[in-house]
Chains A and B, each alone.
Chain A
Amino acid sequence: DAGVIQSPRHEVTEMGQEVTLRCKPISGHNSLFWYRQTMMRGLELLIYFNNNVPIDDSGMPEDRFSAKMPNASFSTLKIQPSEPRDSAVYFCASSLSEVAEAFFGQGTRLTVV
């Protein structure tokens, strides 16, 4: 398996623009996590899905952030409108079940100027 695949690897956008990050989990995994990593706050859990259903989105910073998982093989994290403070590395991870370890993608480095 190719592992968790995220795209794009790097994104530079202007403040106010919409940004969409994409994730393809490992086939057969039924839990999916979105994290944000910054120097100041470390690794923050934004939202996680189980069987394509959002279970906990309490980490989503504000209404500008939204996440979807339309099917078992694809998820998106959207920021609209983007702001410079959203600049971070965003990771997607998937796991086989709610009790198994998670496998991470390579991350998307987002820069909002």
Chain B
Amino acid sequence: GDSVTQMEGPVTLSEEAFLTINCTYTATGYPSLFWYVQYPGEGLQLLLKATKADDKGSNKGFEATYRKETTSFHLEKGSVQVSDSAVYFCALLGNTGKLIFGQGTTLQVKP
């Protein structure tokens, strides 16, 4: 079945460092891909999305490119801030209509 694998955390960075969180997926057909962010005590919020191969999703300085050849959707940000500290989830929406999440990666940014 469909699945999503993320790099394990926690990831600890200094402010203004470069961020990469790896995400790979397994799915039949052509899923849509998403990154969600969860701040402490809150629900998940959509960060960005891509619906077809080679699409780049971007929001708030974060970017991810849908790579069909490597079945990947890595999240990147050029300069992280303390306020980016949160848990990040990669997800796919497959042709069955199921929205499947990775296990989440905790990011901690220190001043």
- Contact across chains for A101 and B49 when beta carbons are under 8 A apart: yes
A83 to B49, CA, bound (A): 37
A87 to B87, CA, bound (A): 20
8 A Cβ contacts from B32-89 to A:
32, 34, 36, 42-46, 49, 51, 89
Chain B: interface secondary structure?
A: strand
A45 sits at the interface (CB 8 A): yes
CB neighbours (8 Å) of B25 from chain A are none
- Contact across chains for B101 and A43 when beta carbons are under 8 A apart: yes
CB neighbours (8 Å) of B43 from chain A are 4, 91, 104-107
- Contact across chains for A33 and B99 when beta carbons are under 8 A apart: yes
- Contact across chains for A48 and B49 when beta carbons are under 8 A apart: no
A33 to B101, CA, bound (A): 12
Chain A: interface secondary structure?
A: strand
Known: A104-B44, A106-B42, A107-B43. A93 touches B99 (CB 8 A): yes
Complex interface bits, B75-111 against A, C-beta within 8 A gives 1, otherwise 0? 0000000000000010001001111111110000000
Report B99 CB to chain A, min CB distance, Å.
5
Q: Which of A4, A42, A45, A106 contacts B99 (CB 8 A)?
A: A45
Q: Which of B46, B51, B97, B103 contacts A42 (CB 8 A)?
A: B103
A55 sits at the interface (CB 8 A): yes
CB neighbours (8 Å) of B36 from chain A are 104
22 contacts between A and B (CB under 8 A): A35-B101, A42-B103, A43-B101, A43-B103, A43-B104, A45-B99, A45-B100, A45-B101, A48-B99, A55-B97, A56-B96, A91-B44, A93-B44, A95-B99, A99-B51, A101-B32, A101-B46, A103-B46, A104-B36, A104-B43, A106-B42, A107-B42
